[in-house]
Amino acid sequence: MNRLSDIGTIKDILKRHGFTFSKALGQNFLVNPSVCPRMAEYSGAGAGVGVIEIGPGIGVLTNELCQLADKVVAVELDKRLLPVLEETLAEYDNCKIVNADVLELDLNRLIAEEFAGSEVVVCANLPYYITSPVIMKLLEDRLPVKAITVMVQKEAAQRICAPVGSRMSGAVTVAVNYYARPEMLFGVSAGSFMPAPKVDSAVMRLNVLEEPPVSADREAFFTVVRAAFSQRRKVIANSLSAGLGVSKGEVLALLEKAGVPQNARAEALSLEDFSAIADAWRERT
């Protein structure tokens, strides 16, 4: 068993290093021994595969990933964790820690420099205060990665993994589905962390697509999606008019061209509907 998921070991390590948790950095460390091996297994880490981890903490998931993958590069913002990681990952020579803010990092460059030629996956227990920005960065940067397996707040995972066109879907559901096929893997209770957060979590995998599933111009597609969800409760004709800053008459013409009913709501539309509206919008501009 991974000794780093043993609560006594963790407390001892943290005490020796005088470490105190930072709420601002979303530091809730996993103490449930069954979670990391499952996450690492689902992530696709294995022979010939390189892994990027975000926020290794004291290295509990890193430890599992290093046992499976050719190489692991873990990006940790908190400098105070560097001496801890040096100790907890001392036995692995296939691990590199990068002290940086993942949102500021050029990940395409990191992949080219660290993983040239191998398949790459991302695996992380994400700091929840930056869940959406990190996920969107990983997707929008068009990284050459096969899959992104992440633990996030349960509600965030449910929204992202909801079918596009269902009541639970939102702008983030459509945005993620433009780049990947999301898959809910398993739930993780709040008690699996130290300190325990107020909410439950879930692990999901985003299976990255080689090509977007629809043909619309990317910028026009995202302009339309943002506008459509800008006023969730309104019918699409009104939310698009407000979000795109054009008259209702113009929006009705766009919707007719796209074959989308004017009284539909954004959450009921398919990727193809958004794509057709984006085509009509692009032709107009």
Output 75 or 147, the one with its CB closest to ligand SAM.
Answer: 75
Shortest Å, Cβ 249 to ligand SAM: 45
Output 75 or 89, the one with its CB closest to ligand SAM.
Answer: 75
Task: Compute how many residues bind ligand SAM; rule: CB under 6 A.
Answer: 22
Output 99 or 207, the one with its CB closest to ligand SAM.
Answer: 99
Output 28 or 169, the one with its CB closest to ligand SAM.
Answer: 28
Contact pick of 125, 131, 239, 241 for ligand SAM (by CB under 6 A): 125
Shortest Å, Cβ 70 to ligand SAM: 20
The contacts of residue 34 (CB under 8 Å, 6+ apart) are none
Does 43 sit near ligand SAM (CB under 6 A)?
no
Output 39 or 280, the one with its CB closest to ligand SAM.
Answer: 39
Where are any strands of DSSP class E within 38-173?
49-54, 71-76, 95-99, 119-125, 147-153
CB atoms near residue 86 (< 10 Å): 11
Cβ(147)–Cβ(204) below 8 Å? no
31 vs 39: CA distance, rounded Å: 14
Output 28 or 275, the one with its CB closest to ligand SAM.
Answer: 28
Does 90 sit near ligand SAM (CB under 6 A)?
no
Output 30 or 224, the one with its CB closest to ligand SAM.
Answer: 30
Q: Which residue has the tokens 């977007």?
A: 212
Shortest Å, Cβ 203 to ligand SAM: 11
203 vs 19: CA distance, rounded Å: 27
Any idea of the CA torsion for 208, 211, 216, 219, to the nearest 10 degrees? 60
Cβ(266)–Cβ(229) below 8 Å? yes
Which residues are 52's β-sheet partners? 73, 122
Cβ(164)–Cβ(214) below 8 Å? no
Does 95 sit near ligand SAM (CB under 6 A)?
no
Does 222 sit near ligand SAM (CB under 6 A)?
no
What does the per-residue mask of binding to ligand SAM show for 45-74, with x meaning CB under 6 A?
---------xxxx--xx-------------
What kind and span of H or E run contains 185? strand 180-188
**Residue 45 DSSP SS3:** coil
Which among 24-32, 165-173, 251-259, 268-276 is the span making contact with ligand SAM, rule CB under 6 A? Answer: 24-32
Q: What is the separation, in whole angstroms, between the first and last Cα of the chain?
A: 60
- Residue in the shown chain whose Cβ atom is closest to ligand SAM: 55
Q: Which residues bind ligand SAM (CB under 6 A)?
A: 25-30, 54-57, 60-61, 75-78, 101-103, 125, 127, 130
